[in-house]
A = this chain, B = another copy of it.
Amino acid sequence: MARKSSLSGFTELLPAERVIENHILEVLAKTFELHGFANIETRAVEPVEQLLRKGEIDKEIYVISRIHEEASEAAAKSRQLALHFDLTVPFARYVVENAGYLAFPFRRYQIQKVWRGERPQDGRSREFTQADIDVVGDGTLPFVYDVELAVVMAEALSKLPIGDFKLRINNRKLTEGFYTGLGLTDTAAVLREIDKLEKIGADAVRENLIEHAGASAEQADKALALAQIRSEDTSFVDEVRALGVSGDQLEEGLSELSAVIAAVNEQAPGRGVADLSIARGLDYYTGTVYETVLVGHEDLGSICSGGRYDALATKGKKNYPGVGLSIGVTRLVSRLLGQELVSASRPVPSVVYITLATDEDWPAAQKIAQQLRSRGIACEVAASAEKFGKQIRYADRRSIPYVWFTHSDGTHEVKDLRSGEQSPADALTWCPAEEDLRPFISLAENS
Protein backbone atom coordinates (compact mmCIF):
# COMPACT_ATOMS: atom_id res chain seq x y z
CA MET A 1 0.00 0.00 0.00
CA ALA A 2 3.05 2.23 0.13
CA ARG A 3 2.96 1.90 -3.64
CA LYS A 4 1.03 4.51 -5.52
CA SER A 5 -1.72 3.11 -7.72
CA SER A 6 -1.32 3.97 -11.38
CA LEU A 7 -4.93 5.17 -11.52
CA SER A 8 -6.06 7.37 -8.66
CA GLY A 9 -8.92 5.85 -6.67
CA PHE A 10 -8.44 2.35 -8.12
CA THR A 11 -6.38 0.37 -5.63
CA GLU A 12 -4.78 -2.95 -6.53
CA LEU A 13 -3.33 -5.25 -3.89
CA LEU A 14 -0.11 -7.24 -3.97
CA PRO A 15 -0.50 -11.00 -3.40
CA ALA A 16 0.32 -10.81 0.34
CA GLU A 17 -2.15 -7.96 0.76
CA ARG A 18 -4.79 -9.92 -1.11
CA VAL A 19 -4.24 -12.80 1.35
CA ILE A 20 -5.42 -10.42 4.08
CA GLU A 21 -8.41 -9.19 2.10
CA ASN A 22 -9.37 -12.76 1.20
CA HIS A 23 -9.10 -13.79 4.85
CA ILE A 24 -11.55 -11.02 5.76
CA LEU A 25 -13.95 -11.91 2.95
CA GLU A 26 -13.85 -15.59 3.91
CA VAL A 27 -14.55 -14.90 7.58
CA LEU A 28 -17.48 -12.69 6.62
CA ALA A 29 -18.93 -15.15 4.11
CA LYS A 30 -18.57 -18.04 6.54
CA THR A 31 -20.21 -16.13 9.39
CA PHE A 32 -23.09 -14.98 7.21
CA GLU A 33 -23.65 -18.55 6.01
CA LEU A 34 -23.63 -19.92 9.56
CA HIS A 35 -26.50 -17.50 10.15
CA GLY A 36 -28.40 -18.81 7.13
CA PHE A 37 -27.76 -15.99 4.66
CA ALA A 38 -27.73 -17.16 1.04
CA ASN A 39 -25.28 -15.60 -1.40
CA ILE A 40 -26.29 -13.78 -4.54
CA GLU A 41 -24.65 -11.37 -6.96
CA THR A 42 -26.34 -8.69 -9.02
CA ARG A 43 -25.12 -7.30 -12.35
CA ALA A 44 -22.68 -4.36 -12.16
CA VAL A 45 -24.96 -1.99 -14.09
CA GLU A 46 -28.40 -0.48 -13.55
CA PRO A 47 -30.50 1.92 -15.62
CA VAL A 48 -29.41 5.45 -14.70
CA GLU A 49 -32.89 6.59 -13.70
CA GLN A 50 -33.11 3.66 -11.25
CA LEU A 51 -29.87 4.77 -9.58
CA LEU A 52 -30.83 8.44 -9.46
CA ARG A 53 -34.19 7.72 -7.86
CA LYS A 54 -32.54 6.56 -4.61
CA GLY A 55 -29.83 8.17 -2.58
CA GLU A 56 -28.25 11.51 -3.34
CA ILE A 57 -25.10 10.76 -5.23
CA ASP A 58 -26.10 11.63 -8.78
CA LYS A 59 -22.88 13.51 -9.39
CA GLU A 60 -20.82 10.49 -8.52
CA ILE A 61 -21.96 7.66 -10.75
CA TYR A 62 -20.24 6.29 -13.86
CA VAL A 63 -22.35 5.84 -16.97
CA ILE A 64 -21.19 3.28 -19.52
CA SER A 65 -21.49 3.31 -23.30
CA ARG A 66 -20.19 1.13 -26.10
CA ILE A 67 -17.11 2.75 -27.56
CA HIS A 68 -18.54 3.15 -31.06
CA GLU A 69 -21.92 4.39 -29.92
CA GLU A 70 -22.76 7.86 -31.24
CA ALA A 71 -22.90 10.57 -28.55
CA SER A 72 -26.38 11.57 -29.73
CA GLU A 73 -27.57 7.99 -29.63
CA ALA A 74 -26.30 7.58 -26.08
CA ALA A 75 -27.98 10.77 -24.92
CA ALA A 76 -31.28 9.73 -26.50
CA LYS A 77 -31.32 6.33 -24.91
CA SER A 78 -34.15 5.96 -22.47
CA ARG A 79 -32.37 3.25 -20.54
CA GLN A 80 -28.81 4.50 -20.26
CA LEU A 81 -26.76 2.29 -17.98
CA ALA A 82 -24.40 3.14 -15.12
CA LEU A 83 -22.23 1.20 -12.69
CA HIS A 84 -23.98 0.61 -9.36
CA PHE A 85 -22.79 2.76 -6.44
CA ASP A 86 -23.95 0.40 -3.69
CA LEU A 87 -25.51 -3.07 -3.36
CA THR A 88 -28.77 -2.02 -1.69
CA VAL A 89 -30.46 -0.43 -4.70
CA PRO A 90 -29.62 -3.35 -7.04
CA PHE A 91 -30.75 -5.80 -4.36
CA ALA A 92 -34.11 -4.02 -4.03
CA ARG A 93 -34.58 -4.35 -7.81
CA TYR A 94 -33.52 -8.02 -7.72
CA VAL A 95 -36.10 -8.75 -5.02
CA VAL A 96 -38.91 -7.09 -6.94
CA GLU A 97 -37.96 -8.81 -10.22
CA ASN A 98 -37.53 -12.27 -8.73
CA ALA A 99 -40.13 -12.16 -5.95
CA GLY A 100 -42.00 -15.11 -7.46
CA TYR A 101 -38.87 -17.30 -7.15
CA LEU A 102 -37.78 -16.27 -3.65
CA ALA A 103 -38.95 -17.50 -0.22
CA PHE A 104 -39.69 -14.65 2.22
CA PRO A 105 -38.37 -13.44 4.59
CA PHE A 106 -35.43 -13.61 2.20
CA ARG A 107 -31.99 -13.40 3.86
CA ARG A 108 -29.02 -12.86 1.59
CA TYR A 109 -25.43 -11.71 1.65
CA GLN A 110 -23.69 -10.07 -1.27
CA ILE A 111 -20.01 -9.25 -1.67
CA GLN A 112 -19.19 -7.19 -4.77
CA LYS A 113 -17.38 -4.22 -6.18
CA VAL A 114 -19.15 -0.87 -6.44
CA TRP A 115 -18.03 2.35 -8.13
CA ARG A 116 -18.34 6.04 -7.35
CA GLY A 117 -16.79 8.95 -9.22
CA GLU A 118 -15.83 10.72 -5.97
CA ARG A 119 -12.58 12.52 -5.46
CA PRO A 120 -10.28 9.80 -4.05
CA GLN A 121 -8.96 10.31 -0.50
CA ASP A 122 -8.02 8.26 2.54
CA GLY A 123 -10.87 5.81 3.05
CA ARG A 124 -12.58 6.73 -0.22
CA SER A 125 -11.87 4.86 -3.45
CA ARG A 126 -13.57 5.05 -6.82
CA GLU A 127 -13.76 1.25 -6.93
CA PHE A 128 -14.36 -0.62 -3.71
CA THR A 129 -15.79 -3.81 -2.26
CA GLN A 130 -18.88 -3.92 -0.07
CA ALA A 131 -20.15 -6.88 1.95
CA ASP A 132 -23.87 -6.62 2.68
CA ILE A 133 -26.42 -8.61 4.64
CA ASP A 134 -30.14 -7.90 4.39
CA VAL A 135 -33.39 -9.59 5.36
CA VAL A 136 -36.41 -8.61 3.29
CA GLY A 137 -40.03 -9.54 3.97
CA ASP A 138 -43.08 -9.75 1.72
CA GLY A 139 -45.46 -7.06 3.02
CA THR A 140 -44.21 -7.16 6.61
CA LEU A 141 -40.97 -7.93 8.41
CA PRO A 142 -40.89 -8.54 12.19
CA PHE A 143 -38.85 -6.05 14.19
CA VAL A 144 -36.76 -8.84 15.72
CA TYR A 145 -34.66 -8.87 12.52
CA ASP A 146 -33.36 -5.40 13.46
CA VAL A 147 -31.95 -7.05 16.58
CA GLU A 148 -30.67 -10.11 14.78
CA LEU A 149 -28.79 -8.18 12.10
CA ALA A 150 -26.91 -6.10 14.65
CA VAL A 151 -25.93 -9.27 16.49
CA VAL A 152 -24.80 -11.06 13.31
CA MET A 153 -22.70 -8.07 12.27
CA ALA A 154 -21.15 -7.68 15.74
CA GLU A 155 -20.20 -11.36 15.63
CA ALA A 156 -18.79 -11.11 12.09
CA LEU A 157 -16.71 -8.00 12.86
CA SER A 158 -15.43 -9.48 16.12
CA LYS A 159 -13.89 -12.37 14.16
CA LEU A 160 -11.85 -9.98 11.98
CA PRO A 161 -8.28 -8.87 12.83
CA ILE A 162 -9.41 -5.26 13.29
CA GLY A 163 -9.22 -4.64 17.04
CA ASP A 164 -12.04 -3.02 18.96
CA PHE A 165 -15.09 -1.49 17.26
CA LYS A 166 -18.39 0.02 18.31
CA LEU A 167 -21.76 -0.36 16.64
CA ARG A 168 -23.39 3.03 17.16
CA ILE A 169 -27.13 2.54 16.89
CA ASN A 170 -30.07 4.90 16.75
CA ASN A 171 -33.70 4.73 15.68
CA ARG A 172 -35.51 7.09 13.31
CA LYS A 173 -38.83 6.58 15.10
CA LEU A 174 -37.17 7.73 18.31
CA THR A 175 -35.66 10.90 16.82
CA GLU A 176 -38.61 11.76 14.58
CA GLY A 177 -41.07 11.04 17.40
CA PHE A 178 -39.03 13.26 19.66
CA TYR A 179 -38.93 16.13 17.16
CA THR A 180 -42.66 15.80 16.49
CA GLY A 181 -43.42 15.67 20.21
CA LEU A 182 -41.32 18.80 20.54
CA GLY A 183 -43.48 20.53 17.92
CA LEU A 184 -40.94 20.38 15.09
CA THR A 185 -42.89 19.10 12.11
CA ASP A 186 -40.23 19.18 9.38
CA THR A 187 -38.35 16.24 10.87
CA ALA A 188 -36.32 15.67 7.69
CA ALA A 189 -34.92 19.22 7.96
CA VAL A 190 -34.03 18.67 11.62
CA LEU A 191 -32.30 15.38 10.83
CA ARG A 192 -30.34 17.03 8.04
CA GLU A 193 -28.97 19.64 10.44
CA ILE A 194 -28.27 17.17 13.27
CA ASP A 195 -26.33 15.04 10.77
CA LYS A 196 -23.75 17.87 10.55
CA LEU A 197 -23.05 17.81 14.29
CA GLU A 198 -19.69 16.08 14.10
CA LYS A 199 -18.58 18.24 11.19
CA ILE A 200 -19.57 21.77 12.25
CA GLY A 201 -20.21 21.52 16.02
CA ALA A 202 -23.20 22.17 18.31
CA ASP A 203 -23.25 25.97 18.08
CA ALA A 204 -23.49 26.04 14.29
CA VAL A 205 -26.11 23.26 14.26
CA ARG A 206 -28.13 25.20 16.84
CA GLU A 207 -28.14 28.27 14.59
CA ASN A 208 -29.08 26.18 11.54
CA LEU A 209 -31.95 24.52 13.38
CA ILE A 210 -33.39 27.92 14.18
CA GLU A 211 -32.72 29.31 10.73
CA HIS A 212 -33.53 26.35 8.44
CA ALA A 213 -35.70 23.92 10.46
CA GLY A 214 -38.15 26.34 12.04
CA ALA A 215 -36.98 25.63 15.60
CA SER A 216 -37.27 28.00 18.57
CA ALA A 217 -34.19 28.39 20.77
CA GLU A 218 -35.66 25.96 23.30
CA GLN A 219 -36.60 23.39 20.65
CA ALA A 220 -33.11 23.62 19.17
CA ASP A 221 -31.54 23.07 22.59
CA LYS A 222 -33.68 20.00 23.22
CA ALA A 223 -32.97 18.53 19.77
CA LEU A 224 -29.26 19.04 20.47
CA ALA A 225 -29.58 17.57 23.95
CA LEU A 226 -31.13 14.45 22.43
CA ALA A 227 -28.29 14.14 19.93
CA GLN A 228 -25.75 14.22 22.75
CA ILE A 229 -27.14 11.16 24.51
CA ARG A 230 -24.94 8.09 24.38
CA SER A 231 -25.05 4.92 26.47
CA GLU A 232 -23.64 1.41 26.34
CA ASP A 233 -26.78 0.08 28.03
CA THR A 234 -30.45 1.03 28.02
CA SER A 235 -29.98 3.96 30.41
CA PHE A 236 -30.48 6.29 27.42
CA VAL A 237 -34.22 5.72 27.87
CA ASP A 238 -34.26 7.62 31.19
CA GLU A 239 -32.08 10.36 29.73
CA VAL A 240 -34.53 10.86 26.86
CA ARG A 241 -37.53 10.84 29.23
CA ALA A 242 -35.79 13.49 31.37
CA LEU A 243 -36.07 15.86 28.40
CA GLY A 244 -39.85 15.86 28.96
CA VAL A 245 -41.05 14.96 25.47
CA SER A 246 -43.59 12.20 24.82
CA GLY A 247 -45.59 10.50 22.10
CA ASP A 248 -46.40 7.06 20.65
CA GLN A 249 -43.77 7.11 17.91
CA LEU A 250 -41.10 8.15 20.42
CA GLU A 251 -42.12 5.31 22.75
CA GLU A 252 -41.92 2.80 19.92
CA GLY A 253 -38.47 4.05 19.01
CA LEU A 254 -37.27 3.87 22.62
CA SER A 255 -38.53 0.34 22.97
CA GLU A 256 -36.95 -0.82 19.67
CA LEU A 257 -33.59 0.78 20.37
CA SER A 258 -33.56 -0.71 23.89
CA ALA A 259 -34.16 -4.17 22.49
CA VAL A 260 -31.33 -3.83 19.96
CA ILE A 261 -28.83 -2.44 22.47
CA ALA A 262 -29.67 -5.05 25.11
CA ALA A 263 -29.34 -7.95 22.68
CA VAL A 264 -26.08 -6.75 21.11
CA ASN A 265 -24.48 -6.25 24.49
CA GLU A 266 -25.64 -9.60 25.74
CA GLN A 267 -24.24 -11.49 22.73
CA ALA A 268 -21.28 -9.19 21.98
CA PRO A 269 -20.52 -7.40 25.26
CA GLY A 270 -19.29 -3.84 24.87
CA ARG A 271 -19.87 -3.68 21.10
CA GLY A 272 -23.19 -1.81 21.01
CA VAL A 273 -23.70 1.86 21.88
CA ALA A 274 -26.96 3.79 21.73
CA ASP A 275 -25.87 7.01 20.01
CA LEU A 276 -28.74 9.39 19.46
CA SER A 277 -26.74 11.59 17.10
CA ILE A 278 -26.65 8.97 14.34
CA ALA A 279 -28.80 10.19 11.46
CA ARG A 280 -27.52 8.40 8.29
CA GLY A 281 -27.78 10.50 5.17
CA LEU A 282 -30.10 8.30 3.16
CA ASP A 283 -33.78 9.08 3.14
CA TYR A 284 -35.08 5.54 2.91
CA TYR A 285 -34.39 4.49 6.51
CA THR A 286 -37.50 4.30 8.69
CA GLY A 287 -36.42 2.75 12.02
CA THR A 288 -33.15 1.36 13.36
CA VAL A 289 -30.01 2.93 11.89
CA TYR A 290 -26.48 1.59 12.39
CA GLU A 291 -22.96 2.94 12.00
CA THR A 292 -19.70 1.34 13.10
CA VAL A 293 -16.42 2.92 14.08
CA LEU A 294 -13.07 1.28 14.59
CA VAL A 295 -11.83 2.35 18.01
CA GLY A 296 -8.71 4.48 17.52
CA HIS A 297 -9.63 5.04 13.86
CA GLU A 298 -12.67 7.27 14.22
CA ASP A 299 -11.23 9.52 11.48
CA LEU A 300 -11.87 6.71 8.99
CA GLY A 301 -15.63 7.21 9.30
CA SER A 302 -18.10 4.35 9.48
CA ILE A 303 -16.86 0.95 8.33
CA CYS A 304 -20.28 -0.71 8.50
CA SER A 305 -23.61 1.08 8.17
CA GLY A 306 -27.23 0.40 7.43
CA GLY A 307 -30.70 0.35 8.83
CA ARG A 308 -34.34 -0.57 8.51
CA TYR A 309 -36.16 0.51 5.35
CA ASP A 310 -39.88 -0.01 5.06
CA ALA A 311 -40.37 0.92 1.41
CA LEU A 312 -37.13 0.66 -0.57
CA ALA A 313 -38.48 -2.14 -2.72
CA THR A 314 -42.00 -1.75 -4.01
CA LYS A 315 -43.96 -2.88 -7.05
CA GLY A 316 -47.50 -1.67 -7.50
CA LYS A 317 -49.24 -2.46 -4.23
CA LYS A 318 -46.52 -4.91 -3.25
CA ASN A 319 -44.07 -3.71 -0.62
CA TYR A 320 -40.91 -5.42 0.59
CA PRO A 321 -39.62 -3.95 3.87
CA GLY A 322 -36.10 -4.84 4.90
CA VAL A 323 -33.21 -4.28 7.25
CA GLY A 324 -29.57 -4.48 6.27
CA LEU A 325 -25.97 -3.60 6.98
CA SER A 326 -23.07 -3.00 4.62
CA ILE A 327 -19.36 -3.31 5.40
CA GLY A 328 -16.94 -1.09 3.51
CA VAL A 329 -14.35 -3.84 3.02
CA THR A 330 -11.94 -1.77 0.94
CA ARG A 331 -12.00 1.10 3.43
CA LEU A 332 -11.25 -1.36 6.24
CA VAL A 333 -8.52 -3.23 4.36
CA SER A 334 -6.87 0.02 3.19
CA ARG A 335 -6.52 1.15 6.80
CA LEU A 336 -5.21 -2.24 8.00
CA LEU A 337 -2.61 -2.26 5.22
CA GLY A 338 -1.84 1.45 5.17
CA GLN A 339 -0.94 1.47 8.84
CA GLU A 340 0.56 -2.03 8.71
CA LEU A 341 -1.77 -3.26 11.42
CA VAL A 342 -1.81 -6.82 10.06
CA SER A 343 0.47 -9.00 7.98
CA ALA A 344 0.26 -12.33 6.14
CA SER A 345 2.72 -15.14 6.84
CA ARG A 346 3.36 -15.59 3.10
CA PRO A 347 2.10 -14.26 -0.23
CA VAL A 348 1.52 -17.71 -1.81
CA PRO A 349 -0.62 -20.70 -0.88
CA SER A 350 2.28 -23.17 -1.28
CA VAL A 351 3.35 -25.04 1.86
CA VAL A 352 6.07 -27.08 0.17
CA TYR A 353 8.50 -26.43 -2.66
CA ILE A 354 9.62 -29.62 -4.37
CA THR A 355 13.16 -29.39 -5.71
CA LEU A 356 14.68 -31.21 -8.68
CA ALA A 357 18.06 -33.00 -8.70
CA THR A 358 17.87 -33.34 -12.50
CA ASP A 359 15.43 -31.99 -15.08
CA GLU A 360 14.35 -35.57 -15.81
CA ASP A 361 12.96 -35.85 -12.28
CA TRP A 362 10.12 -33.42 -13.09
CA PRO A 363 7.44 -36.09 -13.74
CA ALA A 364 8.39 -38.00 -10.57
CA ALA A 365 8.32 -34.73 -8.60
CA GLN A 366 4.84 -34.04 -9.98
CA LYS A 367 3.74 -37.42 -8.59
CA ILE A 368 5.00 -36.45 -5.15
CA ALA A 369 3.18 -33.16 -5.48
CA GLN A 370 0.01 -34.98 -6.44
CA GLN A 371 0.20 -37.16 -3.34
CA LEU A 372 0.67 -34.11 -1.12
CA ARG A 373 -2.16 -32.21 -2.82
CA SER A 374 -4.53 -35.14 -2.49
CA ARG A 375 -4.15 -34.63 1.27
CA GLY A 376 -4.77 -30.87 1.02
CA ILE A 377 -1.14 -29.75 1.09
CA ALA A 378 -0.49 -26.99 -1.45
CA CYS A 379 2.81 -27.32 -3.27
CA GLU A 380 4.86 -26.29 -6.29
CA VAL A 381 7.47 -28.19 -8.28
CA ALA A 382 10.67 -26.54 -9.47
CA ALA A 383 10.73 -25.90 -13.21
CA SER A 384 14.36 -26.91 -13.67
CA ALA A 385 17.22 -28.52 -11.76
CA GLU A 386 19.13 -25.38 -10.86
CA LYS A 387 21.66 -25.44 -8.03
CA PHE A 388 19.94 -26.40 -4.78
CA GLY A 389 20.93 -23.07 -3.24
CA LYS A 390 19.02 -21.29 -5.97
CA GLN A 391 16.00 -23.57 -5.63
CA ILE A 392 15.93 -22.97 -1.87
CA ARG A 393 16.18 -19.22 -2.41
CA TYR A 394 13.13 -19.45 -4.70
CA ALA A 395 11.10 -20.91 -1.82
CA ASP A 396 12.62 -18.59 0.75
CA ARG A 397 11.79 -15.42 -1.21
CA ARG A 398 8.13 -16.49 -1.11
CA SER A 399 8.25 -17.55 2.56
CA ILE A 400 7.26 -21.08 1.54
CA PRO A 401 7.99 -22.88 4.84
CA TYR A 402 9.16 -26.32 3.60
CA VAL A 403 11.46 -27.58 0.84
CA TRP A 404 11.34 -31.19 -0.41
CA PHE A 405 14.39 -33.18 -1.59
CA THR A 406 14.41 -36.50 -3.42
CA HIS A 407 17.75 -38.32 -3.14
CA SER A 408 19.27 -40.55 -5.78
CA ASP A 409 18.55 -43.64 -3.61
CA GLY A 410 14.82 -42.84 -3.81
CA THR A 411 14.48 -41.56 -0.22
CA HIS A 412 13.02 -38.15 0.55
CA GLU A 413 13.72 -35.41 3.04
CA VAL A 414 11.89 -32.26 3.95
CA LYS A 415 13.53 -29.14 5.33
CA ASP A 416 11.84 -26.49 7.46
CA LEU A 417 13.40 -23.30 6.12
CA ARG A 418 12.71 -21.42 9.35
CA SER A 419 14.38 -23.85 11.80
CA GLY A 420 16.77 -25.35 9.26
CA GLU A 421 15.74 -28.77 10.52
CA GLN A 422 15.80 -31.51 7.86
CA SER A 423 14.17 -34.91 8.30
CA PRO A 424 13.10 -38.01 6.32
CA ALA A 425 9.63 -37.75 4.78
CA ASP A 426 7.13 -39.84 2.84
CA ALA A 427 4.74 -38.12 0.41
CA LEU A 428 1.93 -40.44 1.49
CA THR A 429 2.09 -39.53 5.18
CA TRP A 430 4.11 -36.33 5.79
CA CYS A 431 2.17 -33.40 7.20
CA PRO A 432 3.23 -29.84 7.88
CA ALA A 433 2.44 -28.14 11.18
CA GLU A 434 -1.32 -27.44 11.19
CA GLU A 435 -0.85 -23.64 11.24
CA ASP A 436 1.36 -23.82 8.13
CA LEU A 437 -1.36 -25.36 5.94
CA ARG A 438 -2.61 -21.96 4.85
CA PRO A 439 -1.07 -18.48 5.05
CA PHE A 440 -2.06 -16.94 8.39
CA ILE A 441 -2.71 -13.38 9.45
CA SER A 442 -0.87 -11.72 12.35
CA LEU A 443 -1.72 -8.53 14.18
CA ALA A 444 1.15 -6.05 14.35
CA GLU A 445 2.34 -5.31 17.88
CA ASN A 446 1.31 -1.67 17.65
CA SER A 447 -2.26 -2.49 16.68
Which A residues lie at the B interface, using CB under 8 A? Answer: 3, 6-7, 10-15, 18-19, 22, 33-45, 47-48, 58-68, 71, 75, 81-83, 93-94, 97-98, 101-103, 105, 107-108, 113, 115, 117, 127, 142, 144-145, 148, 151, 263, 266-267, 347-350, 362-363, 366, 370, 373, 376-381, 383-384, 394, 397-398
Distance between Cα atoms of A43 and B373 in the complex (Å): 31
Q: With A and B bound together, what is the CA distance between A75 and B148 in angstroms?
A: 50
Cα separation A362 to B39 with both chains bound (whole Å): 25
A136–chain B nearest beta-carbon distance, Å: 13
Using CB atoms, name the residue of chain B closest to A11. B43
| Given known A37-B349, A108-B15, A145-B383, contact A44–B263 (CB-CB < 8 A) | no
A58: nearest chain-B partner, CB-CB: B67
- Do B22 and A39 touch across chains, with their CB atoms under 8 A apart? yes
Quick one: given A34-B373, A98-B3, A349-B33, are A67 and B82 in contact (CB under 8 Å)?
Answer: yes
Evaluate contact between B366 and A151: CB separation under 8 angstroms: yes
Counting from the closest, the 9 A-B pairs by CB-CB distance are: A36-B380, A36-B350, A33-B349, A10-B43, A66-B117, A15-B38, A142-B383, A34-B373, A62-B64
Report chain B residues within 8 Å CB of A370: 267
Residues from chain B with a CB closer than 8 A to the CB of A362 are 144
A68-B59 contact, Cβ under 8 Å, with A42-B12, A366-B151, A366-B267: yes
When C-beta atoms are compared, the residue in chain B nearest to A397 turns out to be B103
Which residues of B sit under 8 angstroms from A267, Cβ to Cβ?
Answer: 366, 370
- A383 in contact with B144 given A35-B378, A66-B62, A378-B35 (CB within 8 Å): yes
What is the CA–CA distance of A365 and B282 in the complex, to the nearest angstrom? 34
CB atoms of B38 and A13 under 8 A apart = no
* Copies of this polypeptide in the complex: 2
Whether A64 contacts B63 in the complex (CB less than 8 A), given A347-B38, A383-B105, A383-B144, comes out as yes
Which residue of B has the minimal Cβ distance to A10?
B43
Q: A12-B43, A15-B102, A62-B64 are in contact. List 9 more A-B contacts (CB 8 A).
A: A7-B81, A12-B94, A14-B40, A35-B378, A36-B378, A38-B347, A103-B347, A144-B362, A263-B363
Q: Do B67 and A39 have beta carbons less than 8 Å apart?
A: no
CB distance from A154 to the nearest CB of B (A): 12
Measured between alpha carbons, how far is A419 from B396 in the docked complex, in Å?
55
Contact between chains at A61 and B71 (CB < 8 Å): no
Cβ–Cβ < 8 Å partners of A127 in chain B: 43-45
B residues less than 8 Å from A384 (CB atoms): 142, 144
Docked-complex contact B62 and A40, CB < 8 angstroms: no
Q: Which residues of B contact A113 (CB under 8 A)?
A: 44
A73 CB, min distance to chain B CBs, angstroms: 12
Inside 8 A of A97's CB, which chain B residues have their CB? 6
A322 to B429, CA, bound (A): 34
Determine if A40 and B60 form an interchain contact, defined as CB atoms under 8 angstroms apart: no
Q: Is the Cβ of A45 less than 8 Å from the Cβ of B7?
A: yes
- Cα A270 to Cα B45 in complex, Å, equals 42
- B115 with A44: CB separation less than 8 A: yes
Complex Cα–Cα for A13 and B110 (A): 12
Q: Closest B-chain residue to A17, C-beta based?
A: B40
Q: Is the CB of A43 within 8 A of B366?
A: no
- In the complex the two chains form, what is the Cα distance from A14 to B97 in whole Å? 11
CB <8 Å contact, A98 and B10: no
| Residues on B with beta carbons closer than 8 Å to the beta carbon of A36 | 348-350, 378-380
Q: Which residues of B contact A62 (CB under 8 A)?
A: 64-67
A40-B15 contact, Cβ under 8 Å, with A71-B71, A376-B34: yes
Can you give 18 contacting A-B residue pairs, CB < 8 Å?
A6-B97, A10-B45, A34-B373, A34-B376, A35-B380, A36-B348, A36-B378, A38-B347, A44-B113, A63-B66, A65-B65, A71-B71, A103-B347, A103-B394, A142-B383, A144-B383, A144-B384, A145-B383
Interchain nearest-CB distance for A159 vs B (Å): 11
Q: B348 contacts A38, CB within 8 Å?
A: yes
Measured in the bound complex, the distance between the Cα atoms of B67 and A72 in whole Å is 15
> Which chain B residues lie closer than 8 Å to A397 at the CB level?
103
A34, A61, A65, A103: residue with the most chain B Cβ atoms closer than 10 Å: A34
